[in-house]
Amino acid sequence: MISGKNYIGNVLSSLGNVTYKTFNPETNLENEIVYTEASAIEIETAIALATDAFKTFKLVSGSKKSNFLNEIANEMEALGEELLQTYCSETGLSKDRAIGELGRTVFQLHSFADLVKEGSWVEASMDTANPKRKPIPKVDIRKMFVPLGPVVVFGASNFPLAYSTAGGDTAAAFAAGCPVIVKSHPMHAGTGELVASAIINAALKTGMPNGIFSNLNSSGIAVGETLVKHPQVKAVGFTGSIAGGRALYNMAAQREEPIPVFAEMGSINPVILLPNAVKNKGKEWAKTYANSITLGSGQFCTNPGLILGIKGGDLTSFIQFLSEEIVKIEPTCMLHPNIIGAYENNKAKMQAQKGLKTTAVTNKNVANNYGRQVITTVEGSTFLENTTLHQEVFGPFSMVVQCESTQQLEEIISKLEGQLTGTILANNNEIEDYSTIVSALQNRVGRIIFNGVPTGVEVCPSMVHGGPYPASTDSRFTAVGVNSIKRWVRPFSFQNWPNKLLPNELKNENPLNITRLVDGVQTRKPI
Amino acid sequence: MISGKNYIGNVLSSLGNVTYKTFNPETNLENEIVYTEASAIEIETAIALATDAFKTFKLVSGSKKSNFLNEIANEMEALGEELLQTYCSETGLSKDRAIGELGRTVFQLHSFADLVKEGSWVEASMDTANPKRKPIPKVDIRKMFVPLGPVVVFGASNFPLAYSTAGGDTAAAFAAGCPVIVKSHPMHAGTGELVASAIINAALKTGMPNGIFSNLNSSGIAVGETLVKHPQVKAVGFTGSIAGGRALYNMAAQREEPIPVFAEMGSINPVILLPNAVKNKGKEWAKTYANSITLGSGQFCTNPGLILGIKGGDLTSFIQFLSEEIVKIEPTCMLHPNIIGAYENNKAKMQAQKGLKTTAVTNKNVANNYGRQVITTVEGSTFLENTTLHQEVFGPFSMVVQCESTQQLEEIISKLEGQLTGTILANNNEIEDYSTIVSALQNRVGRIIFNGVPTGVEVCPSMVHGGPYPASTDSRFTAVGVNSIKRWVRPFSFQNWPNKLLPNELKNENPLNITRLVDGVQTRKPI
C-alpha cells in the first residue's frame, strides 16, 4: 500500500503542504495517489536522524551490513506485482523491463553484500613499528577505508529501481557504512515509496539504527537544494541531466565545507565507424545500431547519439541502411510527458541547425508519449563549427557525421566533451592503422568498446560507468560495479593505536581473515 | 648555476617583464639572483608542450617511468652543496633539515619508482566473457588506472624539497603518467630551479618527451590562476594555506570542465589530554609537546596548535610545565619575513580575543625573523563561543583549552573543523572510558595518534596525510605515501578489446607479471 508520505527514518510522515501526483505515460493520465513533498522540518529531522545513526552504523560489522543489504533485496522481491505494476504505471516501460531492472537491482545489492561480508574492500594496510630505525624510530601506522557520513542520493528518471531508491548509489553507501537520504524522483514516487518500505523493513529486521535511511518526496528543486547545502550531509550521488548535476555540483562546491558530488550525467557515446567495417559490414552494423539507438526508447545514458565515419559511398550506404532499419522498429512509450516534450524540443532545435539533414523519421501515427526515432547526418566541418550539434538529444535520436578525412575525424574526437563510452567498429586488423584515433577517443571516455554497442552496462568489478566531465563530475570514480563504494569512503590512519582498540580489520590477529598489505606484502596472515 | 629563468619544457626562458628576488631570513637580506616571472606566452607554451607530451608519456612503461623517477633522485643528490646552500639561504632552515628533507624527497621518488616498476598499482581487473550466459551473453570487460593528463603543482613554502618541485605531488603525477607544470614557490625560486634542472636532466637521460615538465617562476597569483583555469590542465596539487587552497579549488570548480584540486591546507591538530595521562605523566608530555610545538619553528602542517583537557589542578600543572619547558627552547629562524609577519599578526589577533590568557612567551631578544614561541589557555565555554579561537596560527604557538566536563570536551571536538591529525594522550586503559571522545575525534581527522606527537609524517603506504575539509579539499585522498598516486588517475574500461591491442597490464598472458583481479580472484596467472 502506497501512502504518499515520506519516510523520515522509520516513520511515515506528511507534514507539508505541497502535493503532487505521478503520471502514466501509457494511458496519458495522472495516477491517483497523492504525494506530499517533504517539509523543512521533515528534511531537518531526516538529517538529524542520519547524523545520529552514523555514529553507530559506521561501526556495524561487514557481516551485519551484508545481512541488511541481502534483506533489502529480499524485501524488494517480496513486493511482487505491486512493485512491477507501480513501476510500469509510472514509466510507460514494459513489465519485462521492470522484471529485468529489478533483477539488476537485486544483483547489485547482493554484490555489495558479498563485498562487505568478505571484507577486504577496506584495503587494510599496516606498516609495523621499528623502534631501532635510525635516525628516528619508525611508528606503527595502520590504514583502512571509513565511511564519509550521511549521503544524499538523487534517483534517476530512467532507472526507477537500479539507479534510484535502493539502486547502485544507495547500495554502495550502505555497504560503506553511510546513512542515506533519498530525494525521491517525482516521476516515480510510488515505486520509490515501495522500495523505501523494503529498505525500512530490512533495516528493522536486521537491527539497523533508525535514521540510516529516509525517503523524501519532492516535486521541485527545493528539497534537493536544502539537502545538498546542509552541513551534516557529507556526499551526494546523482544520475540525470548535465544541468541538474552541475547545479548540485556547484552548490556543493560553494558550501563552507565543500563535499564530493558524484553526478553521472549526459553522454552522446560516439561510435567510430572505420572504413573497412562500413564497407564490409555496413548493413549488419546498421541493423545492430538501429536496435541500440531505439532500445528503451533511447532513454539510456549509453545511447549511441553520434556516429562518426569517413565520407564516401560506403558511409552513404550505411546511412541509408540505418535509416531503413530504424523506421521498421515500432516506437515505444517514453517515460513522461516532460521527457518526450524535451525530446521533441531538442530534436527540433537540432533539426533547425544549418547543414543537418534528417534521413529517417518515423512518420506513422503513434500513441501519446511514444517517441518517434530519427536519424540525421551532417558534414564534419559543419559539426566542428557548431557545438550545438555536440549536445545530447535524450531519446531515440542519432547523428551520423561524415568526416572529410582521418585528420578531421581525430580533430572532432579531440573536441568532443567527456563521454561515458566510445566505440570503434573495425574490420579485422584495420584498427591498428588508426592508433591516433583510438588514443584520442580514450582521452574523452570512461569505457571503450570494440565491435559492439555501448548500450548494456555490465555490473562487474571491471566496469567503469563514468568518464571525463560532463559524463561525470569526477572521472576518478565509477557509478557501476562494487568499486563505486569508493565514492563514499576515505582512508583513515591509526598511529601507535592499542591493538585491542583497533577495528577488527586492523588487529594483529586478523580476526576477519581479510587480505591486508602488511609491510608491503599482501597477505591474510596475522601479525 | 641558477639562471633565474623558467623551464618551458627543456628550454630555459625569460620572456617576461616581472622580476623578483628571494630572501634570506637568517641574514635578513635579499638574495642576489633575479627571477623572471613566466609570461602569458610561456605559460601557454608550457601547457601546449605538456598536452603534446601526454600523448606519448601516458603510454610509457612502468619500467621506464621508474628509471626516470630514480634518475630525478640521482640528479637531485648530484646537486650537492649548491642545492643545500640555496635551500638554507632561501628558508632560514638548517643544513641538517635540508639534508633530511632531501633524503625524504629522494626516498619518495624511489618509492614511486618501485611502485610503477612492480606495476600492480594500476589495479588491473578483468571479467572475462561468457557467450553462453542467459538471457544475454556476457562481454569481456577489463579495467585499469590511466593518467588524467597535465597536472599543475603548487610548491609549499614549508617544504621546498619534499612538497615542492620534485616533491610528493610531482613524483605521484609522473608515476601516474601525467606531465607536470610546477608553479614555483616565490620564497624558494632558486631551490626550485635547481630541482627543476634535475628533473629536466633526468628526462633527457631517460628519453622522456619534451614538455613532460615545466617550472614556472611566479611572484603573485596571476601565473597560478592562468594555469588552473586553462582547459588543457586536468588536475591541481597544492600545499599551503586555507585561503590559497580554497581560491584554487573555487577556480577549478567554476571552470566549464571542473577539475580535481587536491589541496592540503591548514590544521590545528587537536591533542586530547585524558585525566590520568595529565595526572601521571603531565610533566613528560609537557616536555615532549614543548619540542613538538617548536619543531621547525612550528612550521609543520601537523604542528599541535590545540590541546584539550579537563579543567582542574592537574591540567593547571600541565600548563605550567609546558610554559616552563617551551621558554627553555631557543627560538629559530622562520621561513620568510612574510611568514613571521603573518605569525605575529595572527598571534596578536588571537591574544586579543576575550578570555585567552598567555601563559608563556619567549621575551628574550631574538634575531630578525626568529619566531618567539607562545602558549595560551582558555576556558572551554569561551572556546566554543568564539570560532576565531579555532583558527590556525602558523608558527610555534599552541592553546590549551580547559573543558568543564567530558561532555563539553566532546562538544568541542565535534565542532572543530576538519583536521589532518588528532592525538589522544592516555594512561593505560583510560582510553576505553572515552569511546565517544575517540569516535568524535575520528570523525574530524585523517589520522589519529595514540600517546605520541602529530609532527613527523611517516612516508609509507598506510599513511593518510589529508582529512576532512579544510585539512584537505577531498578527504578521499592522501598527499603522502604511494597511494597519493590515486589523485591523478582514473579507472578506464576496455570492452571486447583485441588482446594484442590491450595495454600489457590487461593482456591475457600477463607479460608484466602483475597482480590482477581475474573474474573476482586476485592472481598473477595468465588467462
Closest CA to A92 of A171, A2, A31: A31
pTM value is 0.97
Per-residue pLDDT for A266 more than 90? no
- Residue A526 scores a pLDDT above 90: yes
User: How far, in Å, CA of B383 to CA of B386, rounded?
Assistant: 5
- The stretch B272-288 carries a mean pLDDT of 97
Q: Quick check: is B275 in a domain?
A: yes
Parallel, antiparallel or unpaired: strands A125-127 and A516-518: parallel
* pLDDT value of position B1: 86
CA distance A292 to A453: 7
Whether the per-residue pLDDT at B143 is higher than 90: the answer is yes
> 3-state class of B19 per DSSP?
strand
Work out the number of other CB atoms within 10 angstroms of the CB of residue B256.
Answer: 10
Please tell me which residue in B301, B333, B403, B505 is annotated as part of the active site: B301
- Tell me whether residue B264 is one of the annotated catalytic residues: yes
pLDDT tens for each residue of A58-68 = 999 999 999 99
- pLDDT higher than 90, residue A363: no
**Contact call for A496 and B126, based on CB within 8 A:** no
Residue A460 known to be catalytic: no
Residues B275 and B253 in one domain: no
Same-domain status, A482 and A430: no
Unique residue bearing C-alpha cell 560507468? A465
How far is A409 from A149, CA to CA, in rounded Å?
45
Mind telling me how many Å the CA of A233 is from chain B's nearest CA? 13
- Whether the CB-CB separation of A54 and A13 falls below 8 Å is answered with no
Residue A375 near residue A393 (C-beta atoms within 8 A): no
The minimal CB distance from A463 to the residues B478, B493, B522 is found for B493
Q: Is residue B465 part of a domain?
A: no
Same domain, A47 and A77: yes
In our burial notation (b when 16+ CB lie closer than 10 A, e otherwise), range A72-94 reads: bbebbeebeeebbebbbbbbbbe
Residue B344 CB partners (closer than 8 Å, separation 6+): none
Report, as an integer, the average pLDDT of A222-233. Answer: 98
Least confident window among B138-142, B364-368, B443-447:
B364-368
Distance CA B460, CA A494 (A): 13
pLDDT at B478 over 90: yes
Would you state the pLDDT for residue A134? Answer: 87
Does B220 share its domain with B282? no
- Number of Cβ pairs closer than 8 Å across A and B? 187
Could you tell me the pLDDT band of residue A72, with boundaries at 50, 70 and 90?
A: very high
In a domain, B133, yes or no: no
Residues 14-73 of B with CB under 8 A from A: 55
Instruction: List CB contacts of B371: < 8 A, sequence separation 6 or more.
Output: B297, B298, B331, B332, B333, B334, B340, B343, B395, B396
Show the cell assigned to A128.
Answer: 609495523
Q: Enter the C-alpha cell of residue A494.
A: 591509526
| DSSP secondary structure of A392-445 | ---SSEEEEEEESSHHHHHHHHHHSPPEEEEEEE--GGGGGGGHHHHHHHHHHE
Q: What is the model's pLDDT at position B423?
A: 98
Disruptive mutation site among B59, B462, B499 for chain A (greatest number of A CBs within 10 Å)? B462
B229 assigned to some structural domain: yes
Sheet holding A270-273, edge to edge: A357-361, A374-379, A397-403, A306-310, A270-273, A419-425, A445-450, B489-495, B141-147, B125-127, B516-518, B521-523
Would the pLDDT of A135 be above 90? no
Checking if the pLDDT of A280 tops 90, the result is yes
Interface touch B446/A517, C-beta < 8 Å: no
- B contact test, residue of A232, A495, A496 with most B CBs within 10 A: A495
B495 closest CB neighbour out of A447, A520, A522: A447
B270–chain A nearest CA distance, Å: 15
**Domain assignment of residue A496, yes or no:** no
What's the pLDDT score for residue A365? 87
The mean pLDDT of A475-503, rounded to a whole number, is 97
| Substitution target from B254, B493, B505 for chain A, most A beta carbons within 10 A | B493
Give the residue on A whose Cα is nearest the Cα of B439.
A55
- The residue-averaged pLDDT of A214-222 equals 96
Q: Has residue B379 been placed in a domain?
A: yes
The answer to whether B403 and B60 have CB atoms below 8 angstroms apart is: no
Largest CA distance in chain B: 84
Q: How confident is the model at residue A428 (pLDDT cuts 50, 70, 90)?
A: confident
On whether the CB atoms of residues B489 and B99 are closer than 8 A, the answer is no
Nearest CA in chain A to B460: A127
Distance between CA atoms of residues A82 and A75, nearest Å: 12
| pLDDT value at A136 more than 90 | no
Tell me the shortest Cα–Cα distance from A337 to chain B, in angstroms.
30
Closest Cβ–Cβ partner in B127, B148, B496 for A460? B127
Which cell numbers hold the place of A429? 586488423
- Using 50, 70 and 90 to split pLDDT, how confident is the model at B134? confident
Q: Which residues pair with A360 in a beta bridge?
A: A375
Query: Is A162 in the same domain as A106?
Result: yes
Q: Does A127 touch chain B (CB under 8 A)?
A: yes
CB atoms within 10 A of CB B285: 23
The count of structural domains within chain B is 2
Is residue A258 within 8 angstroms of chain B, CB to CB? yes
C-alpha grid cell for residue A244? 541538474
Rg (CA), chain A: 25
**Under an 8 A CB cutoff, do A258 and B461 touch?**
no
With a CB cutoff of 8 Å and minimum separation 6, the contacts of A61 are A504
Structure-block grid coordinates of residue B41: 606566452
Q: How buried is residue B138: exposed, middle or buried, by Cβ count under 10 Å (0-12/13-18/19+)? A: middle
The three-class DSSP label of residue A3 is: coil
Residue of B nearest to A457 (CA): B139
Same domain, A235 and A285: no
Interface contact flag, B492 A464, Cβ < 8 Å? yes
**pLDDT (mean) for B385-401:** 97
Percent of chain A with pLDDT over 90: 98
Separation of CA A371 from chain center? 23
* Residue A493 to residue B443, Cβ atoms within 8 A: no
Q: Give the integer Cα–Cα distance in Å for B67 and B481.
A: 19
Here the cell at position B240 is: 599551503
Please check whether residues A100 and A116 belong to one and the same domain.
yes
Single-letter code of the amino acid located at B405: S
- In 10 A of CB B254, how many CB atoms? 12
Residue B483 confidence (pLDDT):
97
Q: Are A524 and A169 in contact (CB under 8 A)?
A: no
Is B463 within 8 Å of A493 when comparing Cβ atoms?
yes
Contact map slice: A 378-437 vs B, CB within 8 A: 417-418, 431-432
| Angle in degrees, CA A493, A495, A496, rounded to 5 | 150
Residues A13 and A41 grouped into a single domain:
yes
pLDDT in the model for residue B429? 87
8 Å CB contact of B446 and A125: no
Confidence of residue B214 (pLDDT cuts 50, 70, 90): very high
**Full strand arrangement of the beta sheet holding A151-154:** A11-13, A6-8, A213-216, A180-183, A151-154, A235-239, A261-264
Class of residue B229 by CB neighbours under 10 A (exposed 0-12, middle 13-18, buried 19+): middle
- Range 431-450 of A in CB contact (< 8 A) with B: 431-432, 438-439, 442-443, 446-450
Contacts of B269 in chain A (CB under 8 A): none
Same domain, yes or no: B103 and B208: yes
Please answer yes or no on whether B257 and A460 come within 8 Å at the CB atom.
no
* Residue A408 to chain B, least CA–CA distance (Å): 18
CB nearest to B141's CB, from A143, A149, A460: A460
Closest Cα of chain B to A364: distance in Å? 31
B447 to each of A516, B411, B465, how far by Cα in Å? 19, 20, 7
> Which region among A155-159, A305-309, A428-432, B494-498 has the lowest average model confidence (pLDDT)?
A428-432
Do A308 and A249 fall within a single domain? no
Query: CA distances (Å), B360 to each of A482, B168, B290, B375, B453, in order?
Result: 54, 36, 11, 5, 20
Tell me the CATH number at A282. 3.40.309.10
Mean pLDDT rounded to a whole number for chain A: 97
Enter the C-alpha cell of residue A393: 538529444
For residue A467, give Cα distances in angstroms to A258, A265, A454: 21, 10, 14
Cell numbers placing A148: 564519509
**Cα separation of B470 and B445, whole Å?**
10
* Same domain flag for B203 and B76: yes
What pairing do the DSSP bridges indicate for beta strands B270-273 and B306-310? Answer: parallel
Tell me if B510 is assigned to some domain: no
Mean pLDDT of all residues in B215-231: 97
Judge whether B257 is closer than 8 Å to chain A, CB to CB: yes
- Tell me which chain B residues have a C-beta less than 8 angstroms from the C-beta of A469: 257-259
Same-domain check for residues B252 and B353: no
For residue B503, give the 3-state DSSP assignment.
Answer: coil
Nearest residue of B to residue A449, measured between CA atoms: B495
Q: Domain of A137? A: 6-265+476-487
Written as one letter, the residue type at A171 is: A
Residue B273 to residue B289: CA distance in whole angstroms: 11
Q: Is A415 inside a domain boundary?
A: yes
Cβ–Cβ contact B138 with A under 8 A: yes
**Which of B470, B489, B517 is closest, CB to CB, to A461?**
B517
Nearest CA in chain A to B149: A443
Chain A window 472-501: which residues touch B at a Cβ cutoff of 8 Å?
A: 473-478, 483, 486-487, 489-498, 501
| Residues 6 or more apart whose Cβ sits within 8 Å of residue A41 | A15
> What's phi and psi for A476, nearest 5 deg?
-80, 5
Whether omega before A470 lies within 30 degrees of 0, making that bond cis, reads: yes
Q: For residue B413, what pLDDT is reported?
A: 98
Where is the domain boundary, B434, B450, B466?
B450
The C-alpha of A359 sits at a distance from chain B's nearest C-alpha, in angstroms, of 30
- pLDDT 10s digits, B321-331: 999 999 999 99
Closest CA to B105 of B130, B75, B134: B75
